[in-house]
Structure 1
Amino acid sequence: MFGVLQGFALILGIIGAGYVASRFGVVKGEQRLVLNRVAFYVATPALLFTVLQSSDPAVIVSPVILVTGLTAVLAAGLYVLASRLWFRRGLAGTTLGATSSGYVNSNNLGLPVAIYILGDAAYVAPLILLQVVVFSPLILAILESTRGNQRGAAVALGRAAQNPIIIASALGLLVALFGLTVPEILLNPIAMIGDASIPMVLLSFGISLHGQRVLQTGVDRPAILVASGIKLLVMPAITWALCLVFGLSAHETFVATTIAALPTAQNVYNYAATYRRAETQVRDTVFLTTFASLPVIAVIAWLLAA
């Protein structure tokens, strides 16, 4: 649990630094978007290539990842249903809300959780692969279509395939699949750039909080609360139930349920900020789930850890 506390302290510390920078005028207003754009187009692709090129793609078919992936789809579907019944949003807002409900922070929080609670960082590697290789292209294709592309989803998906995040992820996966070795003279600068991705996104997130109040009165509040509730409570519960249905072992159930309780990934906010869609909604969902996920994970560890 100490490792998880360290992970949360790291994330909240960088968010706090961004807030302080904005509070004292170091960064003002939409200047923060420079950080998002550099992270989106340069640093995040470098990070994902670095992670995926050394991964084992075979683990993506493990029972844990199959349950976790199915749960993410069900959680997103529940949000879409709730949105249609109670608080209708546009395509971009609904997509980002559904993504906030099921897209977990598998990297900068998932890794410390996997290492210090689950005992092995390899538990989250399949989820990184699934989210980056399967979910991200679909999300980006939909967001691209909201930019006025009138030629259909196929063209939007083609444009998303040109996205540097998708290209870098595909290249990293190909390197892993064919067992290639990237020379250190190339890999080292890529890894160094990738290391800047998460801090830049977190700094921008902190900057965006200055002058804003979480859950301020407005049309986004129902969407934020529903997405946060699905992410923190419903998604782990569905995962636990599916583990029982599919006959997973006690340890596999613990692993899958813990992973499902991870907060919404900061990457979702990066997508929202880059495409200028539903930024406040996603920002508040990331904020709430990041703070509230720690007690949820602690309860899961207490109930299910063997």
Structure 2
Amino acid sequence: MLLRIVSVMFPVFAIVAVGYWYGRLKKPDMRVANQLNMEFFVPALVFAALASKSFDLQSYWLLAVGGVVVILGSGLVAWPLARCLKVDPRLFVPPMMFSNCGNMGLPLAILAFGESALPAAVMLFLVGNTLHYSLGIWMMSPTARLMGLWREPVILASIAGLAVSLLQVQLWQPLYFAIKMLGDVSIPLLLFSLGVRLTQADFSDVRFGLLGAVVCPVAGLLFAALSVWLLPLPPEHAAMLIVFGALPPAVLNFVFAEKYGVQPERMASLVMVGNLMSVLFVAMALYWVL
């Protein structure tokens, strides 16, 4: 069992480590690569997964409900905790709700459960991203305009992929494989980019970071287990939801904190410490489900 967990986690953290090493050595500007990833490669991955012949929306809606329960439930835990600790809820609550389901969740799902798990991982990724770009932004800045959500390439790609699936459109196979090949670029680039981002980590408030690093996966696992108990999920979807619950705070939380002026330095500590400590909680989740 230990060997299997290591075999799942090693490629993920090895690529992150390579990104960290290269980031320290060369200090690359990843903005263009990240922009390409979010505007082309990740949308291609999402579209290919949803438009594949094996994808059936009815088979995944309960998993989507479970993802919503994990996200909103984590917020219900984090909000009163932030009040008790006298921490700005805008700083503490969103990163406890919105986890790293892109950089870490997608590759972990494929390595742990195989290529057939990609549509389920993409469904959880879409749930997390859609809520993050709407509810998450509103929580940080209630006056922010949310219409930009529908211009996000990932959302547009998901709508297109779902339309292809629901209407049973048969894509020309060479076109489908070209899109899928573009999507295959996204996962290693997500991990490499995360490693580079860790070189810019701000550990000025380690205690606050450690608090978030524990609360985020513990709350996520609690509500993932509750969802598995309440919802008639297939075993493979239940396992995916448990791993989803154990993920650390998303790097996107720092991007939004910087954009809306919500103490970005403390958010950086919370996000980066959480991602470093994720090796412990992800290993626990994998031990639980494998």
* TM-score scaled by length of structure 2: 0.78
3-state SS of 2:107 partner: coil
Distance across 1 between alignment mates of 2:231 and 2:153 = 39
Residues 184-203 of structure 1 mapped to structure 2, 5 A cutoff: 184-203=173-192
Residue 37 of structure 1 deviates from its aligned partner by 1.8
3-state SS of 1:69 partner: helix
Q: Give 5+ residue unaligned stretches, structure 1.
A: none
Which position in structure 1 is the counterpart of 2:107? 108
Q: Is 1:6 the counterpart of 2:4 in the alignment?
A: no
Residues 82-97 of structure 1 mapped to structure 2, 5 A cutoff: 82-89=81-88, 91=90, 94-97=93-96
Residue 270 of structure 1 deviates from its aligned partner by 4.8
Counterpart AA for 2:72: V
Residue 292 of structure 1 deviates from its aligned partner by 1.2
Residue 3 of structure 1 deviates from its aligned partner by 4.9
Q: Is 1:140 the counterpart of 2:127 in the alignment?
A: no
Distance across 1 between alignment mates of 2:225 and 2:141 = 41
Render the CA deviation track for 1:103-125: whole Å, top value 9, x for unaligned. Answer: 9954210222234xxxx944x63
Render the CA deviation track for 1:119-174: whole Å, top value 9, x for unaligned. Answer: x944x634532441x44223113566699895x6xxx3321111111111111111
Counterpart AA for 2:74: A
Counterpart AA for 2:181: M
The answer to whether the 8 Å contact 1:144/1:159 transfers is: no
Distance across 2 between alignment mates of 1:181 and 1:196 = 24
Distance across 2 between alignment mates of 1:212 and 1:225 = 14
Residue 198 of structure 1 deviates from its aligned partner by 2.0
Q: Is 1:125 the counterpart of 2:123 in the alignment?
A: no
Q: Is 1:255 the counterpart of 2:239 in the alignment?
A: yes
Percent of aligned positions that are identical: 16
The answer to whether the 8 Å contact 2:8/2:111 transfers is: yes
Which position in structure 2 is the counterpart of 1:53? 51
Residue 5 and residue 261 in structure 1: after superposition, are their counterparts in 2 closer, same or farther (change >3 A)?
Answer: farther
Residue 38 of structure 1 deviates from its aligned partner by 1.8
Distance across 2 between alignment mates of 1:104 and 1:210 = 16
Which position in structure 1 is the counterpart of 2:20? 19
Distance across 1 between alignment mates of 2:288 and 2:81 = 26
Residues 226-305 of structure 1 mapped to structure 2, 5 A cutoff: 226-244=211-229, 246=230, 251=235, 255=239, 258-264=242-248, 268-270=250-252, 272-273=254-255, 276=258, 278-289=267-278, 291-301=279-289
The answer to whether the 8 Å contact 2:91/2:257 transfers is: no
The answer to whether the 8 Å contact 2:96/2:212 transfers is: yes
Residue 251 and residue 48 in structure 1: after superposition, are their counterparts in 2 closer, same or farther (change >3 A)?
Answer: closer
More deviation, 269-278/73-82: 269-278
Residue 180 of structure 1 deviates from its aligned partner by 1.4
3-state SS of 1:72 partner: helix
3-state SS of 1:281 partner: helix
Q: Give 5+ residue unaligned stretches, structure 2.
A: 260-266
Residue 65 and residue 42 in structure 1: after superposition, are their counterparts in 2 closer, same or farther (change >3 A)?
Answer: closer
RMSD: 3.6
The answer to whether the 8 Å contact 1:104/1:260 transfers is: no
The answer to whether the 8 Å contact 2:82/2:93 transfers is: yes
* TM-score scaled by length of structure 1: 0.74
Residue 78 and residue 127 in structure 1: after superposition, are their counterparts in 2 closer, same or farther (change >3 A)?
Answer: farther
